[in-house]
Amino acid sequence: MNSPQVKTKFLETLNKEQIKAVTIENESALILAGAGSGKTKVLTSRISWLIHNQITNPTGLLAVTFTNKAAKEMLMRVTDQLPIHTRGMWVGTFHGLCNRMLRIHHREVKFPETFQILDSSDQLSAIKRLMKVMNVDTETFPPKEIQYFINGKKDEGIRSNHFKPYDPHTKKINEIYGEYEKQCQREGVADFPELLLACYELLKNNLSIKEHYQQRFKHILIDEFQDTSELQYKWLKLLAGKDNFIFAVGDDDQSIYAFRGARVSNMQDLEKDFKIKKIIKLEQNYRSKNNILNAANAIIDNNTNRLGKNLWAASGDGDPIRQYVGISDYDEANFILDEIKMLHRSGVNYSQIAILYRSNAQSRVLEHAIVSNNIPYRVYGGLRFFERAEIKNALAYLRLISNKTDDNAFLRIINFPTRGIGARTIEQLQDHAKINNCSLWEAAKKIESQNENIKKGVPFFVQLIKNLEDEIQGVSIAESIESIITHSGLKDHYLKDKDGIDRVSNLEELVSAAVTFINTTEIENEALTLVEFLNFTSLESGELQASAGDDALQLMTIHSSKGLEFDVVFITGLEDGLCPHEQSLSEADGLEEERRLMYVAVTRAKNKLYLTLAQSRMLHGQTRYNIPSRFLDEIPDQLLKRLNSLKKQDVITSPIKTAPYSESKHEIKIGSTITHPKFGQGVVTGYEGNENDLRIQIKFSTHGVKWLAMEFAKLTTI
């Protein structure tokens, strides 16, 4: 490195390791960039350095980002550093760059010059249309399942003619995949996964084109490398060849998208494939105080499969991390809101405060507390609880049962889940209702009375609503919702979706909302209970949701928080089963992914970090008693300030009952703290069976959830 390069203006603000990364010559590099370490600055400075020192020209490099926003920001920063035009530069997302390449070489991939790109909803519509032509039963083969299969196979680089089905069901799905490929080719359209797969095949099958781009793009830069998929990495390898240089920036500790196909092992493969001599680590953090970073380091250090780094800051230790254990989820939410009001009074803007949660369903209790405190808020990257489609669908059934003249509710659910009622039939109902000045329900009843076949179409729907109405007579709202979720087909419908588990969790949380409503609301007229609850959901959904740019509290899942930063962060629901999520414990490397998720959450905080949990939490209409997250045990004591004096070793003892539950006649009750000679301390969370054959469910601090036979379990109450 010569002195003129060092004196370059845009290098003056970089630290020693950043300069080392930016100015590396004639070799591929892997930059392990920790959270808040200035990776965007390093990437843009690298581009500017390469151009400034005439190592390449602006059109001789290619830079891959994961969002269009990041690409625009990168180009803007480069123009601030150098007097150049960026119009001809290849900077963009994987899909954007592949689209650009396919437009140039459309003949080679047999695309029309004006091929159209299908977004996710367009793709689903195309699949539904195809299945109708093929006469495929959508109940046996849900269109979303087909979409998930097709996109999954394309992400793996597998065409329909290369896939080997393992059973008749999969064989049929693959047949639909094959017909879908033909349909897209015939109509001149491409879905998002197709852009990458077609571009990969273009380079793989055309030597001259591959060599052209290898000669052109001597320097390839990739942001968020830990989030690349297997096919994306294969595409990059083809593009780079043997003689070009890859500059990959990523953080294996922030790899949290395995469910989207992200492959953290790509970082280790890059080391071997491109003969990386030394990994450059960017460990100085410019975002957070040291207490926050030390907590993040301590947590992630428990993962075994990582490249390893240790974040630090020059800005001082900052405040200790505050930990609060609520008696219940409502107590937890109220504490958070009390702290937020205090912080706001001291001058912290609402927009600089974020509340993070592992599961979307957790937002309901938090939203209720926010609305009760009259504070503006925004759900980042998602919808408010009562505005989520699955919740609105369930409530629409309730609304129609409660009020048969509610045409909006009728139209929302008449064909959801799908039951073969088309647009033409709905038009006929609307015409009948208009002519006869009646509700759509009355019009539907008329059709039903004239049709002997009640197994399909409108007669089936009318009968379904009548059956649901009979089922919920004389039962609680919570039981009514449970019945509707199950017997309407909503639960089965969503379980077929790839993201269905989250939606079903939200539906089950609606049951909890009903239980809480009954327990906390004084209703003078019992007959109006359902009406009052529906009014409550409407009021809760419509209040205080802020627009982007307003000064408002930020609510989001931990996944949605990646890449963001806030002055103050609350990480909520830190209990085993929620964070880490219970599903992860049965998956290979699931716990390590959950720990990376916790690491991401912690490193969002700049100045203040709160860790909160609840001794009892209402889930799915039932009160559960919880054990603190194992991640809390991984944080050194000296970094924590326990606001309600509970020590790390304290297992939750006999929490206050926040909702009714059935008691066993046995001396050991739900919520009791016990010890077991093999598994140690735990909390009783449930029973199963009768007095003569009783099984007891226990959440142990170190061994997770166990079912034990009461007759043989040697349990001691504390």
Candidate list 604, 606, 630, 699, residue with the active-site label: 604
Question: Which residue of the set 40, 67, 185, 284 is catalytic?
Answer: 40
Q: What is the pTM of this model?
A: 0.75
pLDDT at 24: 92
**pLDDT tens digits for range 420-464:** 888 888 888 888 888 888 889 988 888 766 665 556 788 889 889
86 is catalytic: no
Q: CB neighbours of 125 closer than 8 A, spacing ≥ 6?
A: none
Rounded CA-CA distance 626/697 in Å is: 12
What pLDDT does 681 receive? 80
Active site residue 170: no
Smallest CA-to-CA distance from 101 within 181, 217, 264 is with: 217
User: In the annotation, is 604 catalytic?
Assistant: yes
For the question of residue 223 being annotated catalytic, the response is: yes
* Ramachandran area for residue 26 (φ above 0: left; ψ -120 to 50: alpha; else beta): left
pLDDT of 632 reads 95
Q: Length of the chain in residues, anyone?
A: 718
pLDDT tens for each residue of 169-196:
999 999 999 999 999 998 888 898 999 9
- 191, 194, 224, 332: which one is catalytic? 224
pLDDT mean by block of 10 residues, the chain; 718 residues:
50 90 91 91 92 89 87 86 83 90 92 84 88 88 91 93 90 95 90 93 95 94 92 94 90 85 86 89 94 96 89 93 93 95 95 94 90 88 78 88 85 87 86 88 80 71 90 84 89 79 84 79 62 71 57 92 94 92 78 94 97 86 83 95 64 35 52 77 69 70 72 76
**Cβ proximity of 295 and 635 under 8 Å:** yes
Residue 543 pLDDT: 45
Pairing of strands 680-688, 695-700: antiparallel
Is residue 227 within 8 A of residue 563, CB to CB? The reply is: no
Q: In whole angstroms, what is the distance from residue 37 CA to residue 23 CA?
A: 17
Query: Parallel, antiparallel, or unpaired for β 29-33 and 189-191?
Result: unpaired
Active-site residue among 65, 81, 228, 254? 254
- The confidence score (pLDDT) of residue 530 equals 77
419-433 burial by CB neighbour count: b if 16+ within 10 A, else e? bebeeebbeebeebb
Pair of tokens at residue 301: 């250090």
Q: Which of 17, 155, 191, 223 is catalytic?
A: 223
Of 20, 39, 153, 399, the catalytic one is 39
